[in-house]
Structure 1
Amino acid sequence: MFKDKTIILAVHEYADFSTTIRKSLEQLGFTVIELDTHQPLFKYKNLTQRFHNFFRKTFLKDRNYKHQLKQKAIEEQLLQQLESHTHVDYALLIRADILPESVIDTIRKKTDLVAAYQWDGLDRFPIIYDYIPRFDRFFVFDSKDLSVEKVRPATNFYFDYLKVEDNRTEEVHASFVGSYFEYRNQILKDIARQLLNIGVKTDISIFSQRNHEIEIIQSLGFAHLDTTISYEDNLTRTMSSDILIDVHVNDHKGLSFRILEALGYDKKIITTNTDVMRYDFYQPENIFVWTTGHSTAELKAFIDAPPKKIEQYIKHKYSFTNWITYILNKPPYTTIQLPK
């Protein structure tokens, strides 16, 4: 489909997610130029720079100078990675707000079509508003952001190229893996308690490196992760589960990857995101919307109900293959819409 096409890939560093996207792009025929967005280990270039930072911090109360030096180091690193490439067919930037403006402008000059996808609500990282006009195609996953000029709708996706073995056991099993957010604690505790009451085993694993958060995680009876696991390792856990648990971020309505994974890999899911009911793949046999006031009997009925088969054309619409052809405007593809 994209044989002999080149693409620049820059993804916000999260659980080695860029590796999975790179593999997916290569499966489709791309030659991938992956930018390393990891922050380099910072070192002062000389004693003058170190003294200048000390002076500004101590006497001028300026604590941003070192941060500015770090940002400059990232900028130089990324520009150096781009230096040898004179012409590229496409660029895909996910969370483009992590990139310095000069890097985006350099990509723009070298590339025929530059597309960006913001998998967080725009207001979470508002600097992105200034970047939007720089792109040929800019996509958001939260319907409330569609009022912004020049943005287009998209959802997250599931990776349809991955062949992860489904290693479920006879015991019904529900799982959650994520970073620590305080607002999730009580919800996850309530979900785990209700599932336990109806005989469903839960595996809730939460990442944190802060001592007081680790104590809370352990006091709730959850497993603590001291390092993030890669996205593909997370998918291995997904494939061993019958049910996924999804507690969405409060300040946006966009669908998490967990919801699309449940769709693509034929899993049931419990989610707090009520917006999922407005999508064409929603079936109450497959998706339990967790709200206050539901009964344990309702949850048990959901667990016991046979799953509802989703039409293949609907599943394909939310696959990575359809997603990337839509993002890059390379027909044929099915347009992805967000409910208004």
Structure 2
Amino acid sequence: MDNLKGKSILLLSPKFFNYEIEIVNALKVAGASVVWIDERPSNTFFTKAIIRLNKNFLKRKIKNYYNSVLKQISDKQKHFDFIFIISPETLTPTILTSIKTQYLNAKVILYMWDSFKNKGALELLPLVDRAISFDKNDAQQYDLSFRALFYIDAYKKQSIAFRYDLLFTGTAHSDRYNFVKRLVAKIPELNVKLFFYLSSKKLFWAKKLSDKEFKSIKLSDISFIPLNHKTTADLVHRSKIILDINHPNQVGLTMRTLETLGAQKKLITTNSDIVNYDFYNENNFLLIDRENPVMPNTFINSEYVPTESELLIKYSIHGWVCDVFQLNL
């Protein structure tokens, strides 16, 4: 696949568990040359917290940051075919207008892998040529294109012996921790592997003070060092069933859902929209109720039914690039 051969892309996205690196690599596989800019001026706990609270408090810092990095880029590169923006947190209409003025012939593409109510960015929509969301509700409400997330190559199916019956790895947000703990207590006969992550101890203590869901969570229950893709993929490959607990305010499928599909593992999820996807098979996907989760033994004990290769290609990162850039796979 080299449909982007000879094309140059300016990619702006926050750092997110190294997925930005995977996206850069996938774009290069498609033939493009890529320059990546971290969409945040800093990734310290303080900066992230202020951005989520109100990015206007960092208005000067954000402006100076973009002025600096864009000058460095413009000194080396005078042309881009695409400006590709992923779930921006600090980008303003003024800054984006300045970038567009600098690269007049570039097509601007926005992809949201978070819901607008969680990240904002609605103010950028009038300035982009193509806007895409992973959230069906957002896509319908704002008249955007829809495209689910993807799985990276590390999650392609491998023939490895099972070590775990059930696996959960993810960020400790909303009701996730307590829900998972209650669910696992109902199935003591299964060999379960759990991993909960937060980006810093400061965030943990802030949540302890402000979020009732964290009142019973101990510091030792949380890891502050994320798993890398190699380790996570190995855990997925060594597990029979993956557990996915989506954010209550989000209908878009999580990255874990697509990674489970790529690995061809069974999935238990709280996301009711799973039944509306073309890869859904009730033998492979179990929808559970957040208030009263039930896991039938028939689901746990049955084997995975292989997914069609066309669907596996579609939901790979390479299929995602093709959909976002409207290429032939």
Match of 1:189 in 2: 181
Match of 2:51 in 1: none
Select 1:104's aligned residue among 96, 106, 126. Answer: 96
**Partner amino acid, structure 2, of 1:23:** N
1:133 aligns with 2:131: no
Q: Secondary structure at 1:83's aligned position in 2? A: helix
Cα deviation, residue 181, structure 1: 1.6
CA contact (8 A) 1:206 1:217 kept: no
Match of 1:259 in 2: 257
Cα deviation, residue 309, structure 1: 1.3
Distance 1:261 1:144 in 2: 22
| Residues 192-271 of structure 1: pairs in structure 2 closer than 5 A | 192-195=184-187, 197-207=188-198, 208-209=200-201, 210-211=204-205, 213=208, 216-218=216-218, 223-271=221-269
Distance 1:112 1:306 in 2: 48
| Alpha-carbon spacing, 1:164–1:218, altered in 2? closer, same or farther (3 Å) | farther
CA contact (8 A) 2:268 2:287 kept: yes
CA contact (8 A) 1:139 1:151 kept: yes
TM-score normalized by the length of structure 1: 0.79
Gaps of 5+ in 2: 45-53, 209-213
| Alpha-carbon spacing, 1:284–1:328, altered in 2? closer, same or farther (3 Å) | same
Q: Secondary structure at 1:69's aligned position in 2? A: helix
Match of 1:49 in 2: none
Q: Secondary structure at 1:176's aligned position in 2? A: strand
Output the aligned Cα RMSD: 2.9
CA contact (8 A) 2:93 2:123 kept: no
| Alpha-carbon spacing, 1:203–1:97, altered in 2? closer, same or farther (3 Å) | closer
CA contact (8 A) 1:37 1:78 kept: no
Q: Secondary structure at 1:33's aligned position in 2? A: strand
Distance 1:229 1:193 in 2: 24
1:142 aligns with 2:135: yes
CA contact (8 A) 1:79 1:103 kept: no
Q: Secondary structure at 1:35's aligned position in 2? A: strand
**Partner amino acid, structure 2, of 1:174:** L
Q: Which moved more, 1:140-149 or 1:163-172?
A: 163-172
Match of 2:6 in 1: 4
Match of 1:118 in 2: 112
Distance 1:108 1:130 in 2: 15
| Alpha-carbon spacing, 1:216–1:231, altered in 2? closer, same or farther (3 Å) | farther
Cα deviation, residue 263, structure 1: 0.8
Match of 2:211 in 1: none
Distance 1:100 1:268 in 2: 41
**Partner amino acid, structure 1, of 2:312:** K
CA contact (8 A) 1:164 1:236 kept: no
**Partner amino acid, structure 1, of 2:115:** G
**Partner amino acid, structure 2, of 1:88:** F
Match of 2:323 in 1: 326
Match of 1:37 in 2: 39
CA contact (8 A) 1:175 1:203 kept: yes
Cα deviation, residue 226, structure 1: 1.6
| Alpha-carbon spacing, 1:67–1:106, altered in 2? closer, same or farther (3 Å) | closer
CA contact (8 A) 1:6 1:30 kept: yes
Gaps of 5+ in 1: 43-62, 334-340
1:82 aligns with 2:79: no
Cα deviation, residue 83, structure 1: 1.8
Q: Secondary structure at 2:305's aligned position in 1? A: coil
Q: Secondary structure at 1:96's aligned position in 2? A: coil
Distance 1:14 1:77 in 2: 22
Q: Secondary structure at 2:148's aligned position in 1? A: coil
Cα deviation, residue 80, structure 1: 2.5
CA contact (8 A) 1:270 1:290 kept: yes
**Partner amino acid, structure 2, of 1:99:** L
Distance 2:191 2:302 in 1: 14
Q: Secondary structure at 2:81's aligned position in 1? A: strand
TM-score normalized by the length of structure 2: 0.82
CA contact (8 A) 2:9 2:83 kept: yes
User: Percent same amino acid at aligned positions?
Assistant: 21
Q: Deviations over 1:55-78 (max 9, x none)?
A: xxxxxxxx9986333223322233
| Alpha-carbon spacing, 1:177–1:294, altered in 2? closer, same or farther (3 Å) | closer
CA contact (8 A) 2:174 2:248 kept: no
Q: Secondary structure at 2:239's aligned position in 1? A: coil
Distance 2:73 2:57 in 1: 25
Q: Deviations over 1:87-122 (max 9, x none)?
A: 112222111343233442244341532211111112
Q: Which moved more, 1:10-19 or 1:174-183?
A: 174-183
Distance 1:118 1:64 in 2: 18
Cα deviation, residue 167, structure 1: 7.6
Select 2:282's aligned residue among 281, 284, 287. Answer: 284
CA contact (8 A) 2:39 2:88 kept: no
Cα deviation, residue 316, structure 1: 1.7
| Alpha-carbon spacing, 1:234–1:10, altered in 2? closer, same or farther (3 Å) | farther
